[in-house]
Amino acid sequence: MLRVFAKSGPLICLALTVLAGNATAQSSPAVDLPILNRGASARFLSQTSFGPDPASIALVTLIGRDAWLAGQLLQPPTLHLPRYEALAETLDPADARHAAWWEIALTAPDQLRQRVAFALSEIFVVSETDSALGNRQDQLAAYYDILVRNAFGNYRELLEEVTLSPAMGLFLSHLGNDKPDPESGRRPDENYAREAMQLFSIGLWELNRDGSAVLDAFGEQIPTYDQDSIEQYARIYTGWTWSHRDSFGRGSRREDETHDPMKAFADHHDAGEKTLIDGTVVPAGQTPEEDLEQALDSLFNHPNVAPFIARQLIIKLITSNPSPAFINRVAAVFENNGLGVRGDLGAVVTAIFLDPEARLGILSDANLYGKLKEPLIRLTHLLRAFEATSASGIYGLRSARSAYGQAPLAAPSVFNFFSPHFQQPGVIRDAGYFSPEFQLQTETQGIRIVDDLAKRVAVTADDASDNQPVLDLSGLVAIADDADAMLDEIDVLLLGGTMSDALRGIATQMIALIPDDGEDATRLRRAQAAVTAAVVSPEFAVQR
């Protein structure tokens, strides 16, 4: 249980113990923090959700972070496939899947689960840009639901469901992967074998638990696997195909396809002896299911998995340059959730969000802490902050991809939209720091993003299309005669109470250009000017 101990005066001591009785090995040190105000609550929600809205800010401020997280862990999953299927009755399949994703991201009550699932979708990547999946939007929606359901589950189960997903089987070509045939020269496809190790589990180099590199006697990094390892695991992933097929093969009639896990055909599986990365020998003659279990267990139990997954989740949710101590604390929870369970993702994400480094923010390290928001998160933040809705109830935001360079399950490759190891050339790279999201932030893309954000602020119900979300600025319009009051509210909703004096001065000048004459239209323009000043600022582009 997460424990909160009351303390005299206006402070509380958060003992960041992921599970009782596990304080020494798995927990973060206790840290004194002020009782939450609305700004601090909004900042917390900018990490744990697709953006704070007035209701969630009020709830976190009332009950605290621990209770909010505990409640979110108990929320049932909002699944994408059912909503996609309903929308696909009237919309183009791709439009329907994107509309389902946006609706759930912006309105679903299980915000923490959805936010973690999105982070997982950028680790366990499949993409509609691949020709095998572009016309299978239902498979993509079903795949996303694997991530949603397992966001707080066990990593080992997630890895198996991903491995046997027909969407992943199509994307990384192990669906229909046949056993070797010396006569024809056929060799097992190595695609999934390689990426399951490099991207989904252990990474390229051996790691210490704090994410630092393990070095050999010559000071060189040590590879986690080699080409022979890839070939051994490729043989494991043979014999698996569509669950609806009566005979082995990759092809399928669309009307027959299911979203069920792939099934194995033993006569197309390489049943020979294989050696895994931990030295375990898989004996000859086993079933495909037995081989797969041993192979995934070998990846799951590898010491690299804890720091590799911990760092990936931290940089996607909290900060681009987590300290080794932060990674070590989270990796320790991955290894043991306090009850002897390895791979408990619910415990892992709780440890991430309640870690002192996450909660203290720039106070933990003013030079290194924080991250550039992903473009998509900047848009979800704005739309949730002002509870955007459309006339039809449909969130028609698929076209946003052109402005933001990003869309759900639409990465250009299995390596995601950006690398967790990307370093912006210049000062950042020279200092040895990482800046993953800057791989998307070209000059052109940066201009497109702020231009689109400003346009979305300006849209009203009178000029919006039926499926176009419109911000609800009525709360700001009601106080539009008071520039300071408006900016105080915008500061909370969009910046978590961190608005600089410089930005406040610019916004004040913009508001002053529209004198209040008491007319509703004028007051709306004042509110729009204030919001625009905030959302196009560099401060809104950064998560602190």
- Mean pLDDT score, 154-159: 98
Please tell me the pTM assigned to this model: 0.93
Q: β-strands 11-15, 31-34: how paired?
A: antiparallel
Cα(31)–Cα(15) distance, rounded to whole angstroms? Answer: 7
Question: Is residue 116's pLDDT more than 60?
Answer: yes
What distances in angstroms separate CA 307 from CA 60, 243, 331, 335, 350, one per listed residue? 30, 34, 5, 9, 16
Residue 246 structure tokens: 């009566």
Which pLDDT does position 97 carry in this prediction? 98
Which pLDDT does position 366 carry in this prediction? 74
**Band of pLDDT at residue 424, cut at 50, 70 and 90:** very high
Collapsing DSSP to helix, strand or coil, 475 comes out as helix
Which pLDDT does position 32 carry in this prediction? 40
SS (H, E, C) 399-438: CHHHHHCCCCCCCCCCCCCCCCCCCCCCHHHHCCCCCHHH
Question: Is residue 35's pLDDT more than 80?
Answer: no
pLDDT in tens, 460-487: 999 999 999 999 999 999 999 999 999 9
- Least Cα distance to 485 among 475, 494, 498, 471 occurs for 475
Q: Which residue has the higher pLDDT, 31 or 334?
A: 334
Residue % of the chain over a pLDDT of 90: 90
Question: Is residue 43's pLDDT more than 60?
Answer: yes
- Spacing of C-alpha 401 from chain mean position: 17
- Mean pLDDT score, 56-85: 98
List beta partners, residue 283: none
Question: Do residues 483 and 506 touch, judged by C-beta distance below 8 A?
Answer: no
Average pLDDT along the chain? 93
55 Cβ neighbours under 8 A, 6+ residues apart: none
**Band of pLDDT at residue 363, cut at 50, 70 and 90:** confident
Cα(46)–Cα(541) distance, rounded to whole angstroms? Answer: 12
